[in-house]
Amino acid sequence: MADSLYERLGGSEGINRIASDALDNHLANPRIKSRYEHLDNLEAVRKGAANFFISATGGPDVYEGKNMIETHKGMNIDEAEFMAVVDDILDSLDKNSIAQREQEEVLFALYSLRREIVGV
Ligand code: HEM
C-alpha cells in the first residue's frame, strides 16, 4: 500500500514545520494577519493546526481541538480570506520541498473544508 499522506509530508516533524511556516505566513499576509496577530493563544493555535493536519492525513490521532465548524463559527470568514489561507499553506509546502503530487492532495483536502469554514 502507498505511504499515507502523513508519511509523505515528513511525519509529525515535517507537518509541525509546515503548519508553523503556514502560520508565520498568515502573520505576514496583509489579507488575514489581523485574524491572528492579536491572539493570546497563538502558540496553542500553532500546535493545534499541526495536530489537526497530523490526524487528518493519516497520522496518530493527536488533535484534541474543536471541529472546523465550531472553531470558525461566528468569525464571518469570506472566500478571499479562505483563499489567502490556502495560498499560505501551499507556499509553506513549497518552502518545505513538498512535491506537486502531495501538494495536490493537501489542496483537495483543504478545499473540501471550505463549507465548514467560510460564512459559518
Ligand atoms: C482549510 C482552511 C483552514 C483550516 C484547515 C483551519 C484549521 C484550523 C485549526 C485546526 C485551528 C486550531 C483549532 C484548535 O487547536 O483548537 C484553527 C484556528 C483558527 N483559525 Fe482556522 N483553518 C482554516 C481556515 C481559516 C481561515 C480562512 C481563517 C481566517 C482568515 C481562519 C482563522 C482561524 C483563527 C483566527 C483561529 C484561532 C481561533 C482561536 O483559538 O481563537 N482559519 N483553524
Q: How many CB atoms lie within 10 A of CB 102?
A: 15
Boundaries of domain holding 40: 5-116
CATH number of 43's domain: 1.10.490.10
Identify the segments of the chain with pLDDT beneath 70.
Answer: 1
Give the model's pLDDT for residue 2.
79
Give the model's pLDDT for residue 1.
67
CA 14 vs CA 5, 72, 92, 95: distances in Å: 11, 25, 11, 11
Residues flanking ligand 1, CB < 6 Å: 32, 35-36, 39, 41, 45, 48-49, 52, 65-66, 71-72, 77, 81-82, 85, 110, 113, 117
**72 belongs to an annotated ligand binding site:** yes
What is the CB-side half-sphere exposure of residue 116 using CA atoms within 13 A?
A: 11
Please tell me what DSSP assigns to residue 59. S
In the chain, the number of structural domains is: 1
Atom of ligand 1 nearest to the CA of 66: 16
Separation of 43 CA from ligand 1 center, angstroms?
13
Kindly give, in sequence order, each residue whose CB lies less than 8 Å from that of residue 106, ignoring residues fewer than 6 positions away. 5, 9, 89, 90, 93, 98
For residue 36, the Cα-to-chain-centroid distance in whole angstroms is 13
